[in-house]
Amino acid sequence: MEVSNGLGYVSPFPGLGLPAGSFVYHRLGAYVGASSKWKRNLTLSYGVRYARETGRSDNQFGAIPQLNALIPGLGNSVRTPNMNFAPQLGFAWDPGARVRRHSAVASVFSTRTS
């Protein structure tokens, strides 16, 4: 079984001199962060990043209920998430003797486009 738009292209939208296969992909990202020196040899850094990617799928198209017969939920409308807030936390510690330790943890939102 093959599911296709019948044009042989990734999308039905024209672009770059081709009759189809083009898509618009916008990314919006913002980051707010700060760092605080808790002790002479310990610094904490923290922040939050917001990411929104509008072209991650064909979300401009409506639902295709016929696809639900193949796999339940496959034909539902695509939802672009708007609440991609990713917290980040890190520290730098210098215990002395020419040794310095850095560590960080973060939540990351990423989209595979291929």
Instruction: Identify whether 101 is part of a domain.
Output: yes
Instruction: Identify whether 41 is part of a domain.
Output: yes
The domain tally of the chain equals 1
- Decide: residue 104, CB within 10 A, 0-12 exposed, 13-18 middle, 19+ buried: exposed
Instruction: Identify whether 12 is part of a domain.
Output: no
Task: Render pLDDT for 72-98 as a digit per residue (tens, 0 to 9).
Answer: 888 887 777 777 888 999 999 988 877
Instruction: Identify whether 90 is part of a domain.
Output: yes
**pTM recorded for the entire structure:** 0.57
CA 95 – CA 19 distance, rounded (Å): 63
Instruction: Identify whether 66 is part of a domain.
Output: yes
